[in-house]
Amino acid sequence: MEDEVKKQNLERMEKEGVKFVHLQFTDIHGAIKSVTIPIHKLAESFEKGTWFDGSSIEGFTRICESDMYLKPDPSTAALLPWEPDKRVARYICDVFTPDGSPFEGDPRYILKRALAEAERMGFKYNVGPELEFFLFKPNSSGGTNPIVHDSASYFDFSPRDLADNIRSDIADALEVLGLEVEMSHHEVAPGQQEIDFRYDDALTQADRAISFKHAAKSIAFKHGLFASFMPKPIFGVNGSGMHVHQSLYDIKKHTNAFYDPHDNYKLSKVAKSFIAGQLKYIRQISLVTAPTINSYKRLVPGYEAPVYICWAQINRSALIRIPKCSPGREQAIRAELRCPDPSCNPYLAFAVMLAAGLAGIKEGLLPPDPVEEDVYEFDSVKLHEYNIETLPASLGEAIAEFRRSNLAKEAVGDHFFKVYLAAKEKEYDEYRLQVTEWEIRKYLEST
């Protein structure tokens, strides 16, 4: 079957007149990396892989063990619609060592390993990420200061929403890349956008999230703008999140394992244990779901930021929300984790989220009672009364939680745990040494 798919791929590339192929993968932070091969090398890449220098990619290998190989996944074949003249194709790749073994530091492999554990337990992990982003205008010198593209707000329509045609172009590009777009709209903040695509298995969705960011940035550039997935680019307005809807599919029963028609919330015991696991371990995995210094400028009380570790149905101030399903669609029940942001590596984020949820099932955990009040209005006394903790308040706090987490270490593996932790510690140290404009204004004359 796999050989037939590869053959069909090669025939399609010839029919489409493709000249070059981008072989894409991600580094530990989720940045897209790529090597380009001429089309006549694609068949060889399918069979033997394409060599690249792994020591040049942060978190991969040392100079003395730098030889690595990319193997394109035939199911990810796509033409890049913003490069019509060159007829360029794109494949997302898995990374291998010279002996043919999957590279344990490859984020895509880490997610595959987590999904294999779910499958051993009888489940398939389905997700629906909602990536928010900003469109900015370059400044007068062509730089990238955050100058918003419009002054519109939530669900505004033209003429206030100047990005309607840009979102349409991005949506068209996504359809060519194989994503089924369900909705696009202007978000809360000026210049902020959202485009949602169809729910599916976590590996497919991680690939799509990478494709989505690539398409948004490429199309925005053609419009003279730049798309940013920075969590909090502008002081005083809502940041960008990547809320993730999740459920487990029961492989044997062919049903949504989260659904129980007899429960008040329509949630099964499996679903409640999954939720309990994520609530228990969320602080330990925040370094992956909210991985940057800037992530914690978004994760502060106010601006609808989900910082309180609790769950609910209607209440959007809770960390995990259970969206109500319309009559006749109760089987679509899911749990929405609201703290991840679009700066994360989606392969890693889904892997640790799944690990936390599965741990809840293995440990037989049950969540506390849901909190349907507006937690944003709680003072410290009421938070203590409800036993509600908060997410880490800084990257440094998230690093400390990650460092002592056995769950995180098992989810990403020893190699990745060490290199990721070292990279984040370096990032935090660089930040702590900076003297910011705010400090100059605040202290230079007053001290």
In a domain, 447, yes or no: no
Catalytic choice (223, 316, 403, 415): 316
Collapsing DSSP to helix, strand or coil, 245 comes out as: strand
Better-predicted residue by pLDDT, 297 or 238: 297
pLDDT for position 357: 98
What are the φ and ψ backbone dihedral angles of 274, each rounded to 5 degrees?
A: -60, -45
What average pLDDT does the segment 263-284 reach? 96
DSSP letter, residue 103: P
150 catalytically annotated? no
Active-site residue flag, 90: no
The one catalytic residue among 14, 44, 53, 263: 53
Query: Binning pLDDT at 50, 70 and 90, where does residue 9 land?
Result: very high
pTM of the model: 0.94
Question: What is the domain-level CATH number for residue 10?
Answer: 3.10.20.70
Residues 27, 156, 164, 194: which is the catalytic one? 194
Least confident window among 104-108, 132-136, 217-221, 327-331: 327-331
Residue 87 included in any domain: yes
In this predicted structure, the answer to whether residue 201 has a pLDDT above a threshold of 90 is yes
Instruction: Please give the residue that has the higher pLDDT: either 70 or 182.
Output: 70
Average pLDDT over residues 167-195: 86
How many domains does the chain divide into?
Answer: 2
Task: pLDDT band for 393, please (50, 70, 90 cuts).
Answer: very high
83 labelled catalytic: no
80 domain-assigned: yes
Rounded to an integer, the average pLDDT of 89-93 is 96
Whether 69 and 95 have beta carbons less than 8 Å apart is answered as yes
Which of 62, 77, 100 is where one domain is finished? 100
Cα-flanking dihedrals φ and ψ of residue 284, to 5°? -75, -25
Catalytic residue among 22, 27, 29, 130: 130
Residue 371 within a domain: yes
Average pLDDT, the chain: 90
What pLDDT score was predicted for residue 63?
39
Pairwise CA distance, residues 447 & 439, whole Å:
11
Q: Is residue 116 domain-shared with residue 96, that is, in the same domain?
A: no
pLDDT at residue 244 above 90? Answer: yes
Per-residue pLDDT tens over the stretch 70-83? 999 999 999 999 87
Query: Is 105 among the domain residues?
Result: no
425 and 397 Cβ atoms separated by less than 8 Å:
no
CATH classification at residue 280: 3.30.590.10
> Is 106 inside any structural domain?
no
The C-alpha atoms of residue 318 and residue 315 are separated, in whole angstroms, by 6
338 in catalytic set: yes
Q: Which of 27, 338, 341, 401 is catalytic?
A: 338
Residues 279, 381, single domain; the answer is: yes
Nearest CA-CA partner of 412 in 59, 52, 14: 59
Residue 194 falls in the annotated catalytic set: yes
Mean pLDDT over 81-88 rounds to: 80
- pLDDT for residue 332: 87
Domain shared by 349 and 326, yes or no:
yes
Active-site position among 27, 336, 341, 401:
336
Task: Name the active-site residue from 187, 207, 260, 401.
Answer: 187
Question: pLDDT tens digit string along 116-154?
Answer: 999 999 999 999 999 999 999 887 776 677 777 776 655
Tell me the helix, strand and coil percentages in the chain, rounded to 5: 40, 20, 40
Catalytic residue among 27, 132, 207, 260: 132
- 60 pLDDT band, cuts 50/70/90, is low
Active site residue 187: yes
- The span from the CA of 425 to the CA of 301, in Å, is 25
Is pLDDT of 97 > 70? yes
pLDDT tens for residues 210-225?
999 999 999 999 988 9
Active site residue 430: no
Domain housing 49: 2-100
Percent of the chain with pLDDT over 90: 68
